[in-house]
Each structure stands twice: as structure tokens, then as C-alpha cells.
Amino acid sequence: MKILHEGYRRPASEELGFVCQRLDAGEVEILGKALRRGIFEIYKAVVLHELAAGRLDRQEATRRLGSLVVERALSGRSPGAAGDPGGARRTRRPAARSSSR
């Protein structure tokens, strides 16, 4: 399998074409589903962030997202997770070594 060069971005049209072919669906249908899912994920992240920051109460977050989503988010939070008072902690991966032999 060919490994993509680090700066290369596959054209979105190529990715969309592959998905449509594999799922036997039209571009409009796939784009609509992707857009809806993307917007919901952003909405969910904002609601949960506001809840963690104390700018939104639990009842309102539950009304907006449902109790299951809120419970999972609150119980699944680990130290260093987004919304944790300590803030997100990410470790940096070492840079890839170049093999210029």
C-alpha cells in the first residue's frame, strides 16, 4: 500500500466518490448525512463545554442532548480531558525520523 506524503491531501471529491460507490448512495444524501453529523458533534461539544464551565446547568444540557449523552460525558471524563479544571493535557509525539540514506 502506498503511504501518502505528509503534506498531501486527497481531494474531497475522490473520498466522496469512494464512499458513494461503496454505500451505493448519491452524493447529496452522503453530504447531507455528513453535514448533519458534523454539526451535531460540534453542537454536542459546545453544550458539554458550557456544562463543564458552569455556564449551563445539567437540566438544560440534558434537555438539549438527552440524559444518556450527558451521563456518558460526565462519567467518562478522565483527568486531563476537555472541560477538566486542569485543562486538556496532550503529549507530543516525537517527530518522524527522515530516512535520507
Reported as a single tens digit per residue, the pLDDT across 39-90 is 999 999 999 999 999 999 999 999 999 999 999 999 976 544 554 444 444 4
Does 92 fall in a domain? no
Does any domain span residue 96? no
In a domain, 59, yes or no: yes
State the pTM of this model.
Answer: 0.57
Which cell is 68 given?
444518556
Look at residue 65 and tell me if it is in a domain. Answer: yes
Q: Is residue 3 part of a domain?
A: no
User: Cell triple for residue 98?
Assistant: 527522515
Task: List the domain range (segments joined by +) for residue 29.
Answer: 13-75
Residue 82 lies in a domain: no
- Residue 71 falls within a domain, yes or no? yes
* DSSP secondary structure letters along 24-53: T--HHHHHHHHHHHHHHHHHHHHHHHHHHH
Grade residue 10 by pLDDT with cuts at 50, 70 and 90.
Answer: confident
In a domain, 41, yes or no: yes
Rounded CA separation 11/76 (Å): 35
Helix (H, G, I), strand (E, B) or coil at 8: coil
Q: Which of 30, 33, 4, 36 is nearest to 18 (CA)?
A: 30
The number of domains in the chain is: 1
